[in-house]
Structure formats: structure tokens, C-alpha cells
Amino acid sequence: MLALRRSANKLFLGEPGPSPAELDELLTVAARVPDHRKLGPWRFIVFEGEARASFGDALAGILERRGKPATEIEDARNAFRRAPVVVAVVSCPVEDGRTPVWEQELSAGAVCHNLLLAANASGWAGVWLTEWPAFDSDAGALLELKDKERVAGFIYLGTSKMPSPERARADAATRTTRWKA
């Protein structure tokens, strides 16, 4: 089934979404990733129910203060309402002097992918997005990101209101070489 994995279109996600208990199970599965030295260099922030609207309002406020166009402000206000559940996966590298930060960031990316795989295997649709809040210092302050933390992705979860179309995929054969001794 992995060969058929697809992301849902963010505009066609809707109710229902995973219940809190179902989401907890998905997060437990998502956390089963390669993790050198068992550092757990990532964490989750869950947006459900009214928390989605509240966070969207706070994002809209950031853009209002910057004098952005009304359409951008409204897009920000509604972004987290696109799905019943949104999970921010935060990369939080541990400075242990031994484990490269890059490895830890890759582990956070693996969490994002595992969450999508777990959701799809459980019958949910999902999409991994970053968009501007993942890279914005004011949005990071809203998320209470600590020094060196950053958003690896926002995972939107729910029910797809239309089938996800297949898209062109990279040809693995043209990107593969074999080492010859």
C-alpha cells in the first residue's frame, strides 16, 4: 500500500477527523522513527476544535500588524480550519556534542512522514505543509518555540472530500547509482 500513498488536497479535507484517542495512537506510531541515541528531538503541538480558530486569529493578527492585504489575512485566519486536526511537528535538536543536528532534524522529518503513513493506514487523509508560519519568528513565538526549535511541518488530518489524484513522481531508476568497487 505504500506505493499508493498520496497527500490529500488541503482544500478538500473535512470532518470527521481522528478523535483525541485515535490521534494519540497515531502520534505513538509516528514517534517510532530512527532516533540516534534515543534523544527524541521532536515534539507535537495539537490543534483541535476551537484551538484551530484561535491560532488562525493569532496568525491573522500578525499579518494585520504588518499591513498585509485582506486576502492574506483571511487566508491565515482560516488556514488551520482546513482540517479537523492539525499537528505541528517541532524539531528540537539536543546539543549533546555527539549527535549531529542534521540527524536529529531528519528524525523530525521522519516523524512527519510516519504520521502521514499512520493516518493513511488508519483511513484518514492528510497532508504535510509548512507555509509561512513554519518560518516566521512571530508565529514561532505563538507556538512558544525555544531556541534552536523549528517547525518541521504542520500535518493536516481529516477526511478527504474527493479522491487524491495521482501526480508525477520522481523516477527512482534515474536517481540511483550503484557503487562499484
The answer as to CATH 3.40.50.300 being correct for domain 11-48+83-161 is no
Q: Where are the domains of the chain?
A: 11-48+83-161
Quickly count: other Cβ atoms within 10 Å of residue 26's Cβ.
25
Sign of the Cα torsion 55, 79, 134, 6 reads positive
Is the separation of the CB atoms in 82 and 156 below 8 Å? Answer: yes
Per-residue model confidence (pLDDT) at position 155: 98
pLDDT exceeds 70 at position 1: no
pLDDT exceeds 90 at position 169: no
pLDDT, tens digit, for every residue of 101-154?
A: 999 999 999 999 999 999 999 999 999 999 999 999 999 999 999 999 999 999
What average pLDDT does range 90-95 have in this prediction?
Answer: 96
pLDDT exceeds 70 at position 95: yes
- Top pLDDT among 63 and 172 is at 63
C-alpha 116/C-alpha 177 separation (Å) is 29
What average pLDDT does range 153-168 have in this prediction?
Answer: 88
Which residues are registered as beta bridge partners of 155? Answer: 87, 128
3 pLDDT tier (thresholds 50, 70, 90): low
What average pLDDT does range 148-166 have in this prediction?
Answer: 91
pLDDT, tens digit, for every residue of 14-72?
A: 999 999 999 999 999 999 999 888 899 999 999 999 999 999 999 999 999 999 999 99
Beta-sheet pairing, 13-14 with 125-129: unpaired
Backbone angles phi, psi at 56, to 5 degrees: -60, -40
Contacts with 21 (C-beta within 8 Å, 6 or more apart), sequence order: none
Element at 57 (helix H, strand E): helix 50-65
4 pLDDT tier (thresholds 50, 70, 90): low
Quickly count: other Cβ atoms within 10 Å of residue 161's Cβ.
13
